[in-house]
Amino acid sequence: MTTSPLTPPPGYDDRDGYIWLDNEMQEWREANVHVLTHGLHYGGSVFEGERVYDGEIFKLREHTERLIKSAAYLDMVVPYSLDELMDASREVVEANNIVNGYVRPLAWRGPEAMGIAAQACKIHVAIACWEWPKYFFPKGGEGVGLALKTSQWRRCDPRTMPVQAKAAGIYAVGTMAKHEADRAGYDDALMLDVHGRVAESSGANLFVVKDGKIKTPVPECFLNGITRQTVIGLARELGYSVEEGIIMPDDLKSVDEIFLTGTAAEIAAVSKIDDVVNIPIGPVTLKLQEAYHALVRRKTAAAA
């Protein structure tokens, strides 16, 4: 589909392709919900974000397990098994001919009830996929680091929300923080937790490097990302020391490198935070980017 500069590009509801919806492969434009869907009104919705590299979904099992767990945190039972969901994810990638792209599974409460109680609501599941470049591209690598603005919004107390659930409701605050950063001309928000400690960005985990040692906040108030866990393992395999601990905003002034990790963001270098941090992209970040890239594309590397 071609668009002129005056025509906005089609939205996510207006594309060719297929979406797996409640165990059926639906035409993309037919995969709709009713406006009185419970999940839309009361935040009863959980999702995943996965990447396809060279035709294979990276860490599909871990993401699918997390989807089921996220639903369980919200007292929702996904009506498909882990294997059924993994098969459906692969099917939808194949149906849309996605070789390198992004997969978005979603589970939500349907329109069978209205009001806080949702026991009568059916749990629906959809899986969509599309081609999607790196989240911050071309920033975060290639010599240009990201600029983060500390948000007025904080990651929530784990007693307020089940923070390990990838629950749509939690993202309302991420969107507000991201908008605040966008308006100020920054690439993303740096979010602190309720105690004022460094937490993460609006959609990715954060690491710092000082004197060759890597440190990352303990995921008490935010999602313990699958990429975060992968990068911790990779870094240790490469011989780096990785500590999980408290990072205060003031500590950022004296670190050598900062980077974000996430399925969408992959490993993205940070160069600026507010007006207090201005650092180049460093060697540890570059090394980890290279190692991560090799890991996610290991299938291709093995075939070469």
Catalytic residue among 59, 134, 149, 166, which?
Answer: 166
- Is position 216 an interface residue for ligand PLP (rule: CB under 6 A)? no
d(CA 178, CA 171): 10
- Is position 271 an interface residue for ligand PLP (rule: CB under 6 A)? no
- Is position 289 an interface residue for ligand PLP (rule: CB under 6 A)? no
Active site residue 69: no
Closer residue to ligand PLP, CB minimum distance, 172 or 184: 172
From the list 30-38, 67-75, 255-263, 287-295, the region that binds ligand PLP by CB under 6 A is 255-263
d(CA 222, CA 212): 25
**Least distance (Å) between residue 225 CB and ligand PLP:** 3
Closer residue to ligand PLP, CB minimum distance, 205 or 216: 205
| Residue 115 CB neighbours (<10 A) | 9
From the list 15-23, 114-122, 180-188, 196-204, the region that binds ligand PLP by CB under 6 A is 196-204
Q: Which residues inside 37-96 make contact with ligand PLP, applying CB under 6 A?
A: 49
**Are the C-beta atoms of residues 201 and 188 closer than 8 Å to each other?**
yes
Site string for ligand PLP, 225-254 (x = CB under 6 A): xxxx--------------------------
d(CA 20, CA 94): 11
Q: Which of 45, 64, 205, 216 binds ligand PLP (CB under 6 A)?
A: 205
Residue 7 per-residue DSSP state:
S
Amino acid symbol at 136: F
- Return all residues near 146 (Cβ < 8 A) that are at least 6 apart: 136, 139, 140, 187, 188, 260, 268, 269, 270, 271, 272
d(CA 38, CA 142): 43
**Least distance (Å) between residue 279 CB and ligand PLP:** 22
d(CA 94, CA 31): 18
From the list 17-25, 100-108, 201-209, 238-246, the region that binds ligand PLP by CB under 6 A is 201-209
- Is position 105 an interface residue for ligand PLP (rule: CB under 6 A)? no
Size of residue set near ligand PLP by CB under 6 A: 15
Per DSSP bridges, beta strands 213-217 and 242-245 are: parallel
From the list 1-9, 20-28, 131-139, 260-268, the region that binds ligand PLP by CB under 6 A is 260-268
Break the chain down into helix, strand, coil percent, rounded to 5: 30, 30, 40
**Least distance (Å) between residue 6 CB and ligand PLP:** 33
- Is position 178 an interface residue for ligand PLP (rule: CB under 6 A)? no
Locate the DSSP E strands across 1-91: 18-21, 24-27, 45-47, 50-53, 56-57
- Residues near ligand PLP (CB under 6 A) are 49, 174, 200, 203-205, 222-223, 225-228, 261-263
